[in-house]
Structure 1
Amino acid sequence: MIFSLIIIIGIFLYINNNKLSINTIVYENHKIQTDFNGFKIIHLSDLHNKSFGKNQSKLITKINTLNPDIIVITGDIINSYKKDTNNAFVLLKELIKLYPIYYVPGNHEARRSDYQKLLLNIENLGIIVLNNTTCSININNSKINIYGLEYDFFNYKNHFSTDILKSVDEKYFNILLSHGPHYFDYYAKFKFDLIFSGHEHGGQFRIPFIKKGIYAPSEGLFPKFSEGIHKKHNSTLIVSRGLGNSRFPFRLFNLPEVLLIEFKTSKF
C-alpha cells in the first residue's frame, strides 16, 4: 500500500508539473485598429530551462496548434542556480524559425555573471531583446508599440525613470513587457494599454477550486498578482503562471501555462 501510494503521488506530481495548460484570453480595446483585429499573441514566462518532450516537442506542438502572430517572453527562461541553458535555447531556436519573438529578461538572467553574453546570444538568434528599449509592429497603416523593461535585480524601481517610459504616446496601442507584476501600480501610471508579466509562478502551490496562489517571493503569502487579468484605470495586466520551477522543485494544482491573447476591436 505504501509503495502504491508513492507511485500515485509521483504520477500526480508529474502531471502537475508537465501537463501544459492552454488558457485563452480575448482582449478588447477601442485602440486596436481593424488591421489588428484577430491578432494573436502567445505569452510564455519562467521556463527555467525546463524540458517539455524531446527538443521541446510537446511545447512547440502546442504553440503551433494555436498559430500565433507573435510570441512574447517575460523572462527567466533559464535557471540561475544551474549552468545548463540548453533546453531554453533549443526552444528559442525552434520558435524563432516560425514566429517573431519579443523578449525581456527576468531576475534569473540578471543575477548571472554572463548576463550580457546571454542576452547577446539570444539576440543573435534573431529574437528582439527589449532591454529598456522599444519597437513597433506595423500592419498596413496600423501600429502597435512594444516596450520592454530590464529587470534590475538590485534596484528595480530605478527603471521607472527610464527614458522609454517617458516616450509613451497614448494615441497608439502600447504594450509593456516586464518580468515583475508586483509593480503594476507603477506601470499603470505610464498608461500602457496592455502589460505582460510572469515571475510569481502562480503562487507555486494553488488552492483547488478557489484558484488562489499560496506564496510568491515578491509578495509573500497569497500573492495578488499570481496569475490572470488585473485592471487599473485603462491598463490591463496579464500575468503568466509560468512553465517551470526554480529553487523549489515542483508545483501543486498549478499546471505549466501557455497563454493565448487574441485581440478584438471594440467601439468603447
Structure 2
Amino acid sequence: MKRFRTVELEAGKNTGRPALRLAHLSDLHGCFYGENQEGLLEAVHLEAPDLIVVTGDMIVGSPTVNRRTFAFFKELTKDYPVFFCNGNHETRYQASEGFQPVYKHFAYGLWKNGVEILNNRSVVFEKNGRKVLLSGYEADLSYFSRFNRKVPSEEELKAKLGEKRIGMETVLLAHNPMFFPVYKKWGADLTFSGHLHGGYIRIPGIGGVISPQFQPFPKYDRGIFEEEGHWLCVSAGLGDHTISPRFFNPPELPVVTWYG
C-alpha cells in the first residue's frame, strides 16, 4: 500500500474557547491508499475531525476510478460533513467540451454521496458554539497557465463570493495558495489550499523548489502560514497527476486544530 503522513497543525490562538478540527484532503489525482482507500479512511477516523475540507484535483478521466472516489466520499460523509471546492483539474474538465460529461458525472457523484460543493458559494457551519462561514473560490483557468503571474483582485472575490460577513469567522477553500494576500484582504480568517504539491522537490531548510506554474521557490509551498492574523494551510497533496518527483516531500493529510 502507498504511504502518506498525517500532519498535525494549529491555527489561531488558544484562548480557551472550543477549537474546531478540520481534516484537509487535496490533490488526490486518482491515487489510492488501499483498494477502497482504507488507509486514508483509517487515518481520518483516527483524527476524528469536526469537518473535512477538500480543495480539489480529485477528478480523473476514468469513470471507474471516479466511482471508487465516490465510494470513498460516501464512507466519509457517514461520519463527517464534507465540503469541496474545484481545483484546476475539475475546472478544466468542466470547461472542455469533450470532458464536460466526465465533470458532470463527477459533480453529481459527489453531491449524491453527501458532499457539499462550494464552487463560488458559501454555507454556514455551526459546532462547538462556533458559527463559521465556509466559502469556496473557483479561480479561472487563466490563473493556472504555465508561467502565469496574473493575480485575482479582491473585487473578483467579492463578485464571486460577496462581501466578508462582519462578525462571522470565515474559512475559505481556494485551490491555489499563491493568492493568499488577496484571500486575506477579502477577509478569510483561515484558508485551505493545495495545488503546489509541496514544491515537488524540497531542499531541507529552504523549502519547495518549483510550482506547477514554474515559479521557483514558491513562498506558500507546504504547511501553515500566518500573516496579520490570517492563516493559510497548504497541503502537499495526496497524489500526483503526472510522473513527478517527490524528494523530502511525502504525500500528506493535514489536520488543523483551529482556535479562531
TM-score, normalization by structure 1: 0.82
Percent of residue pairs bearing the same amino acid type? 32
Alignment of 1:98-177 (within 5 A): 98-112=79-93, 113-114=99-100, 115-139=103-127, 142-154=130-142, 157=152, 160-177=156-173
Structure 1: runs of 5+ lacking an equivalent: 1-13
Code of the aligned partner of 1:160: E
Once the 2 structures are TM-superposed, how far is the Cα of residue 120 of structure 1 from its aligned partner? 2.5
Relative distance call for 1:172 and 1:164 in structure 2 (3 A) is farther
Say which SS state the counterpart of residue 48 (structure 1) adopts. coil
Say which SS state the counterpart of residue 224 (structure 2) adopts. strand
Say which SS state the counterpart of residue 37 (structure 2) adopts. helix
Say which SS state the counterpart of residue 242 (structure 1) adopts. coil
**Is 2:7 aligned against 1:23?**
yes
Say which SS state the counterpart of residue 7 (structure 2) adopts. strand
Greater CA drift, 184-193 or 139-148: 139-148
Q: Quick one: which of 183, 206, 211 aligns to 2:202? A: 206
Partner of residue 21, structure 2: 40
Code of the aligned partner of 2:238: L
Structure 2: runs of 5+ lacking an equivalent: 94-98, 145-151
Say which SS state the counterpart of residue 220 (structure 1) adopts. coil
Q: Deviations over 1:46-69 (max 9, x none)?
A: 000100012001111111111111
Relative distance call for 1:165 and 1:234 in structure 2 (3 A) is farther
Partner of residue 3, structure 1: none
Say which SS state the counterpart of residue 11 (structure 2) adopts. strand
Q: Quick one: which of 41, 44, 47 aligns to 1:60? A: 41
Say which SS state the counterpart of residue 192 (structure 1) adopts. coil
Partner of residue 93, structure 1: 74
Q: Deviations over 1:149-189 (max 9, x none)?
A: 12321368378244354331131111100101111111111
Relative distance call for 1:150 and 1:117 in structure 2 (3 A) is farther
TM-score, normalization by structure 2: 0.85
Say which SS state the counterpart of residue 186 (structure 1) adopts. helix
Q: Quick one: which of 30, 50, 54 aligns to 1:69? A: 50
Which has the larger Rg?
Answer: 1
Relative distance call for 1:23 and 1:155 in structure 2 (3 A) is closer
Relative distance call for 1:142 and 1:132 in structure 2 (3 A) is same
